[in-house]
Structure formats: C-alpha cells, structure tokens
Amino acid sequence: MSSAATGYKASATLPLRAEIRRQATRRRTHLALGFMVLLPLIILLAFEFGGGDDDANGGGSFASLVDLATSGGLNFALFSIFVSASFLLVVVVALFCGDTVASEASWGSLRYLLAIPVPRARLLGVKLVVALGYSLTALLTLGATALLVGTLRYGWHPLGSTVAAEIPAGEGVLRLLAILGYLAVTLLGVAGLAFLLSVLTDAALGAVGGAVLLWILSSILDQITALGSLRDFLPTHFSDAWLGLLSTPMQTDDVVKGAISAVCYATLFWSIAFYRFTRKDVTS
C-alpha cells in the first residue's frame, strides 16, 4: 500500500517559479535591489557636488581611486564595486539568505509549507536557489548600473589601475566580469553562513545580523598578523584577491585559493543546514 496520496509528486510541490514570485513581492527584495541601483547614483552625486581638490590632496591611495573613478565608465563601475564589496554586498547576501527560512518560521507559515506536504530537503533547496539567484541579481544590478551611469557621465575609456598600466576597454569589460564572478563565488561563504543561521533560529534579524557580525569578526582577525598562517583558513582572507585581476599579467593564485575556500565553507555550512533542518522539530 502506497503511503503517498494518489497523484502526489514531491517534485511538484513548491515550484521554483512560485518561490521566485513570493520573494519578488517582499519589501526587503525591493529595498535591496533598489539600493543596488541607487548606490551608483549616490556616488555620482558625491563626485559632482562633493569636496574638491583640497579634500583629494590629502586622500592618499583612496584619492587615487577617486581620480580613476571619474576617468571613465569602467573605472566608475570598478570604484562602485570596490566600496561595496567589503560590507554592503555582504549585508545584501546575508539578507537574502538569512531571511529566507527564519522569516517563514517567525510568521508561523513554515509548518504549513511542510504540511502541504513539501519535503524538507526540497523546501530548503528551492529557498536556497532562489536566495542565491536574488543575491547574484543584486551583484549584477550594481555592476550594470554603475557601468551605465559612469559611461553616460564620464565616457567610454580604458580601465585604469593603480597596480598596472591601462587596460583596453574591451578587455576591461572582461576583467570587470571576472571580478564580479569572483565576488559572487566568495560571497557564497556569507550565503552559507546566513542560510545556516536561518535554519538554526526563528529570528530573521538574528540570522542576518549574526552572519554579518561573524563575517566582520573574520575580517578583523585577518588583520592580526600575529596569527600567521592561521589567517589563511579564515573565510575572509582572500576577499581582496580580485585586485590581482587588475594586474598585468593577471595574478590568479590567490583568486583560485579564495574560490576554493569559499566553496568549501559554503558546502560545509549548507550541509549542516540541511542535516539540521531535516531532523529538527518544526513548531513554528
């Protein structure tokens, strides 16, 4: 005798497109993606109406980056990514991946989803894929908007660099895409950590905030040189390795190490999340 109802198919429960639509209606999705569009405009306005040469003269290496940012669309996009990579993108990815399960639990709707019934592994898998999809969309939205805004204002010129000679515009686009790709991979660590915390707690804010705080803690520990080679095992140690993609020739050793590290951490966190969720009592 079959234990499943006639016509029941686990693969038909919680379709991917349904979850995409559900998340698309969320206010946090609108705010996160909207800010990815707004940030390049804010940076552009800051350049247009901000301080002049007196501020730049004392700015050191950051002032050099500002000068590069206003020399072409590719450079403006690169600057926008640079100022966003260490914190803003971390928050956005943590928001999409940390809120996805914990919010359902806090609303009391998680148990109803499981009662449909949606298999637990499928529910987690669909939510993870959609969260990662929106995280990637946010990253690409930031890059595309910054490139468009910067090109319209500063023109189409070679990609400048503080560590190498100018890179032709065509190749510069490929370098920019490679940087975005590397950031997408390294942010998998944040996604894995936030998703794990989302499974462990019913408080979405705790999952998102916990992931961001732990990522910041890792960044702080990475600055402590006394830790020596132990820093190589921190998830944030290779966060800036994408700068090697701007050199001539490209330096990819740390990029490869960073990608492997991120995938390993993400796989570990997701494995724990699936193991815990498929065995926990869901009461909310």
Q: Is the dihedral of CA 43, 44, 50, 55 positive or negative?
A: positive
Q: Please state, in angstroms and rounded to a whole number, the distance separating the CA atoms of residues 66 and 54.
A: 13
Q: Per-residue pLDDT for 2 more than 70? A: no
Q: Please state, in angstroms and rounded to a whole number, the distance separating the CA atoms of residues 89 and 180.
A: 11
Residue 268 token pair: 């570990």
Q: What is the pLDDT of residue 122?
A: 86
pLDDT band, very low/low/confident/very high, at 185 (cuts 50, 70, 90):
very high
Q: What is the pLDDT of residue 174?
A: 94
Q: What is the pLDDT of residue 67?
A: 77
Q: What is the pLDDT of residue 19?
A: 87
Instruction: Report, in this order, helix, strand and coil percent for the chain, each rounded to 5.
Output: 75, 0, 25
From 13-22, 57-66, 117-126, 154-163, the region with the lowest mean pLDDT: 57-66
Question: Taking the model in full, what pTM does it have?
Answer: 0.89
Q: Which residues contact 173 (CB under 8 A, 6 or more apart)?
A: 74
Contact 77, 150 (CB under 8 A): yes
Residue 59 main-chain phi, psi, to 5 deg = -90, -10
Q: Per-residue pLDDT for 250 more than 70? A: yes
Residue 135 token pair: 């995280």
pLDDT band, very low/low/confident/very high, at 68 (cuts 50, 70, 90):
confident
Q: Please state, in angstroms and rounded to a whole number, the distance separating the CA atoms of residues 241 and 192.
A: 20
Q: Per-residue pLDDT for 117 more than 80? A: no
pLDDT band, very low/low/confident/very high, at 282 (cuts 50, 70, 90):
low
Percentage of the chain beyond pLDDT 70 is: 85
Q: Please state, in angstroms and rounded to a whole number, the distance separating the CA atoms of residues 284 and 282.
A: 6
